[in-house]
């Protein structure tokens, strides 16, 4: 291929050389003129490649997309985007983007998608909604969304009378820790995570592969900690990037973290190293906790975790010396083994013993701008909402559980009749859900997928609506809680390509067809933003120039020293012992349950992030594909030897139920232990239309038949799966 091209260049060169002209007249190549010497346009944006929502500036030169860079004023990114954000232009340039609305039609027996006009697509949706409304009631639509644009459709469904939502960022991501911290402190960790790492003297990571996990603020504050010589303790069976930066790396046996956490509590309490004043003043249940942790000394933990008791003691003492500026990181993707809320509780309690919640170097109190919502009529009270679907089974779940919502779509007498999916690729996002999804598609009267790419989830839909990328649209102002309250503007840097449209426009068009106009009283979404900005003394005009505006804090960032305060728990105190859990029949204090045994010749299926990609949403992004075109399976040299695998070989992974992955490249490395293999999530796409990434690499989700559901909040534990190798011949 490249060879041929080279030959061609030679030949053509020969031709021209045949008629060589006098040097002066030569005009062979004109080397690119220096970047930035053309006419350059700048537009503020908020990155949507992941959910950290960094603010940046989009540059175009001579009308051509050029680059995206971070906004200096932005507390989320301090002027630096991450790898994926810098590659954002690729999302706009992706050749395989959805181009126009698609409608499922049956042509002589076989179903296909047919390109249709926006009117056709929207009319179809509106009429189906109408029918569902009449036949079953207006509360029978659901929304599964991930990403900023979801709000527009949430507004639409609310106005219509449906309140059944869920975000995969709960039951597939950080739900357990939010519930655990809410139970303990009365509030969750939130996003951006309220970790005060830049002031920490000691950071403890349980998993949390910051560095591969590129959540920007996390990376930057983690590096602050390194630069200030904070003591880093990383608990990870894999030699993660973070482990490589740490003073202490604890290569724990997978699934045994609660044992370690209990042992750490045991040491802190029995050696009297905990923050006595803090515990005395702010917590309840300390005595019960003390009794609870007695059996769990480091020697006991050694048998479970394989970690040297001396090391467990030493690290506990190090944590204590730096307390309260010791952060035991709550993690973010924590749906691991099904006992995740309990692990989250253990982490929360450990932090309480160290007195780090609400203290400098621990957890700070976030604050956002109180930004009035654009005045619209009050939506009707729905007959039922997500609680009806989720809380019978998970009474403590404070928000929708995606797989429950899907289950409620299955069958002739299913509660839900219509589903909107915005920006979440369900078959790759919820483990072991593909069967359910097919049933869902069978059962539903209406299945709408709103996406930018022909992602696998769109294949289940009746209608596919092509949204334009974040670089081509307005969305709500970013107003995330942070150290400094701030607002950030996303506005179109380019015209929407093809027939794509912004989410706000799609929602408004539907509203128009459902006579819900009064809930969308604007022509262009910029009116909403301008109105809101004016309420807080800014304006769209100003924001177009600066992109990010910071506002003064009104509340303290830390708990005032030596003063009692009221926590938002039932007791008003930090609940080391959770009455709430007890009342619902769960363990009021974290209990350790050993993980499933690893079968002979099988290995833990470990997965995580690669810095180059956001899940599966960027693997077809040309800029990022070029950086990391495929994922490799990490294999320990000893294991490779047993299986006589060589670097660069291709193998398939097969789990204990016989589910087999796509072929994946072997990377032999000491960075994974002999009991686990590791792959980066987001690969193994099957959608042919994703021409770059289709059929490349292995998909961890396809190997996750064994889902450990968290009995407290419905999280889908993904780490109890084992795989073996199938050699490619």
Ligand X SMILES: Nc1nc2c(c(=O)[nH]1)N[C@H]1C(S)=C(S)[C@@H](COP(=O)(O)OP(=O)(O)OC[C@H]3O[C@@H](n4cnc5c(=O)[nH]c(N)nc54)[C@H](O)[C@@H]3O)O[C@H]1N2
**Residue ranges in contact with ligand SF4 by CB under 6 A:** 47, 49-50, 52-54, 77, 81-82, 84-85, 214-216, 614
Tokens standing for residue 370: 């109180």
Check binding of 533 to ligand X (CB under 6 A). Answer: no
- For residues 509-541, one letter each, b for 16 or more C-beta atoms within 10 angstroms of the residue's C-beta and e for the rest, the string is bbbebbebeebbeeeebbebbbbbbeebebebe
Contact 61, 38 (CB under 8 A): yes
Nearest distance from C-beta of residue 640 to ligand X, angstroms: 18
- Residue entry with tokens 């990403």: 147
The one among 255, 298, 324, 361 contacting ligand X by CB under 6 A: 255
Check binding of 399 to ligand X (CB under 6 A). Answer: no
Check binding of 719 to ligand X (CB under 6 A). Answer: yes
Nearest distance from C-beta of residue 682 to other proteins, angstroms: 14
Nearest distance from C-beta of residue 592 to ligand X, angstroms: 13
| CA-atom Rg of the chain in angstroms | 27
Count of residues that bind ligand X according to CB under 6 A: 62
Nearest distance from C-beta of residue 535 to ligand X, angstroms: 27
Nearer to ligand X, 133 or 254 (CB): 254
Only segment of 8-16, 370-378, 583-591, 699-707 that touches ligand X (CB under 6 A): 699-707
Alpha carbon distance, N-terminus to C-terminus of the chain: 25
Q: How far is CA 378 from CA 71, 150, 155, 510, in A?
A: 36, 19, 11, 18
Binding partner of 216, given Mo ion, ligand SF4, ligand X, none, CB within 5-8 angstroms per partner class: ligand SF4
258/266 Cα distance (integer angstroms): 12
Only segment of 134-142, 417-425, 562-570, 648-656 that touches ligand X (CB under 6 A): 417-425
Nearer to other proteins, 21 or 413 (CB): 21
214/84 Cα distance (integer angstroms): 9
Nearer to ligand SF4, 215 or 404 (CB): 215
**How crowded is the C-beta side of 664, counted as CA atoms within 13 Å?**
30
User: From start to end of 390-445, where are the E strands?
Assistant: 418-422
Contact 709, 393 (CB under 8 A): no
Check binding of 646 to other proteins (CB under 8 A). Answer: no
Q: CB-based burial of residue 106 (10 Å sphere; 0-12 exposed, 13-18 middle, 19+ buried)? A: exposed
Check binding of 153 to ligand X (CB under 6 A). Answer: no
The one among 85, 611, 673, 714 contacting ligand X by CB under 6 A: 611
Which strand ranges, in their side-by-side order, compose the sheet holding 248-250?
248-250, 231-235, 202-206, 326-328
Binding partner of 53, given other proteins, ligand X, ligand SF4, none, CB within 5-8 angstroms per partner class: ligand SF4
Binding partner of 696, given ligand X, other proteins, Mo ion, none, CB within 5-8 angstroms per partner class: other proteins
Pairing of strands 141-145, 418-422: parallel
Only segment of 247-255, 339-347, 575-583, 630-638 that touches ligand X (CB under 6 A): 247-255
364/198 Cα distance (integer angstroms): 11
Residues 458-517 that bind ligand X (CB under 6 A): 467, 469-470
Nearer to other proteins, 81 or 581 (CB): 81
The Cβ of residue 713 has, within 10 Å, a number of other Cβ atoms equal to 27
Q: CB-based burial of residue 456 (10 Å sphere; 0-12 exposed, 13-18 middle, 19+ buried)? A: buried
Nearer to ligand SF4, 621 or 631 (CB): 621
Nearest distance from C-beta of residue 650 to other proteins, angstroms: 9
Question: Which residues contact ligand X (rule: CB under 6 A)?
Answer: 48, 50-51, 146-147, 149, 168-169, 172-174, 206-209, 213-215, 235-238, 240, 252, 254-255, 257, 331-333, 422-425, 428-429, 431, 450-453, 455, 457, 467, 469-470, 606-609, 611, 613-617, 681, 700-701, 704, 718-719
């Amino acid at each position: 291929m490249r060879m041929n091209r080279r030959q061609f260049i030679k030949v053509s060169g020969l031709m021209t050389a045949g008629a060589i002209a006098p040097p002066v007249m030569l005009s062979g190549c004109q080397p690119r003129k220096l970047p930035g010497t053309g006419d350059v346009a700048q537009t503020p944006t908020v990155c949507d490649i992941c959910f950290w929502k960094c603010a940046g500036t989009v540059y175009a030169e001579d009308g051509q997309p050029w680059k995206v860079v971070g906004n200096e004023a932005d507390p989320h990114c301090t002027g630096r985007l991450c790898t994926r954000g810098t590659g954002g232009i690729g999302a706009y340039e992706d050749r395989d983007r959805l181009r126009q609305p698609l409608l499922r039609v049956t042509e002589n027996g076989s179903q296909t998608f047919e390109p249709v006009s926006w009117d056709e697509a929207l009319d179809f949706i509106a009429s189906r909604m109408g029918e569902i409304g009449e036949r079953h009631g207006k509360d029978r639509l659901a929304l599964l969304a991930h990403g900023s644009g979801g709000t527009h459709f949430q507004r639409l469904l609310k106005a219509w009378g449906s309140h059944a939502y869920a975000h995969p960022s709960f039951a597939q991501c950080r739900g357990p820790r939010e519930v655990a911290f809410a139970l303990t402190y009365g509030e969750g960790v939130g996003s951006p995570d309220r970790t005060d790492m830049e002031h920490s003297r000691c950071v403890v990571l349980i998993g949390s592969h910051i560095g591969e996990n590129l959540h920007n603020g996390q990376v930057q504050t983690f590096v602050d900690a390194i630069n200030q010589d904070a003591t880093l303790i990383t608990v990870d069976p894999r030699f993660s990037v973070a482990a490589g930066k740490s003073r202490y790396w604890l290569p724990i046996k997978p699934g045994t973290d609660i044992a370690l956490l209990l042992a750490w509590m045991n040491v802190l309490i029995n050696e009297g190293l905990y923050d006595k004043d803090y515990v005395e003043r702010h917590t309840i249940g300390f005595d019960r906790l003390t009794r609870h942790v007695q059996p769990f000394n480091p020697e006991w933990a050694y048998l479970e975790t394989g970690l040297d008791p001396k090391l467990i003691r030493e690290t506990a003492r190090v944590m204590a010396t730096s307390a309260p500026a010791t952060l035991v990181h709550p993690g973010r993707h924590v749906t691991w083994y099904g006992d995740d809320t309990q692990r989250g509780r253990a982490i929360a309690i450990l932090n309480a013993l160290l007195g780090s919640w609400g203290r400098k170097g621990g957890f700070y109190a976030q604050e956002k701008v109180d930004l009035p919502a654009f005045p619209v009529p009050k939506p009707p009270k729905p007959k039922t909402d997500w609680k009806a679907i989720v809380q019978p089974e998970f009474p403590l779940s404070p928000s929708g559980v995606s797989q429950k919502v899907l289950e409620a779509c299955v069958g002739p007498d299913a509660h839900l009749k219509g589903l909107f999916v915005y920006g979440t690729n369900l078959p790759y996002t919820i483990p072991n859900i593909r069967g359910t999804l097919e049933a869902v598609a069978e059962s539903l009267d209406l299945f709408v997928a709103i996406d930018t790419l022909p992602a696998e989830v769109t294949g289940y839909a009746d209608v596919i609506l092509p949204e334009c990328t974040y670089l081509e649209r307005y969305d709500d102002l970013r107003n995330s809680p942070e150290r400094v309250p701030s607002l950030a503007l996303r506005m179109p840097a380019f015209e929407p390509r093809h027939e794509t449209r912004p989410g706000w426009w799609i929602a408004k068009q539907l509203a128009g067809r459902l006579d819900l106009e009064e809930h969308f009283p604007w022509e262009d979404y910029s009116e909403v933003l301008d109105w809101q900005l004016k309420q807080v003394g800014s304006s769209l005009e100003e924001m177009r120039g600066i992109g990010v505006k910071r506002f003064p804090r009104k509340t303290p960032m830390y708990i005032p020293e030596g003063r009692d305060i009221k926590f938002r728990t039932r007791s008003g105190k930090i609940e080391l012992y959770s009455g709430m859990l007890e009342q619902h029949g769960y363990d009021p204090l974290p209990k350790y349950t050993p993980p499933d045994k690893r079968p002979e010749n099988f290995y833990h299926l470990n997965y995580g992030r690669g810095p180059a990609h956001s899940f599966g949403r960027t693997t077809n992004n040309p800029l990022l594909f070029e950086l990391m075109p495929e994922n490799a399976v990490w294999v320990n040299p000893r294991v490779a030897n047993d299986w006589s695998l060589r670097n660069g070989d291709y193998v398939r992974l097969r789990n204990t139920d016989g589910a087999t992955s796509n072929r994946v490249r072997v990377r032999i490395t000491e960075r994974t232990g002999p009991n686990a293999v590791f792959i980066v999530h987001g690969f193994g796409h099957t959608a042919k239309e994703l021409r770059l990434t289709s059929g490349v690499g292995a998909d961890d989700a396809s190997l996750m038949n064994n889902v450990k559901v968290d009995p407290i909040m419905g999280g889908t534990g993904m780490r109890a799966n084992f795989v073996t190798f199938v050699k490619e011949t």
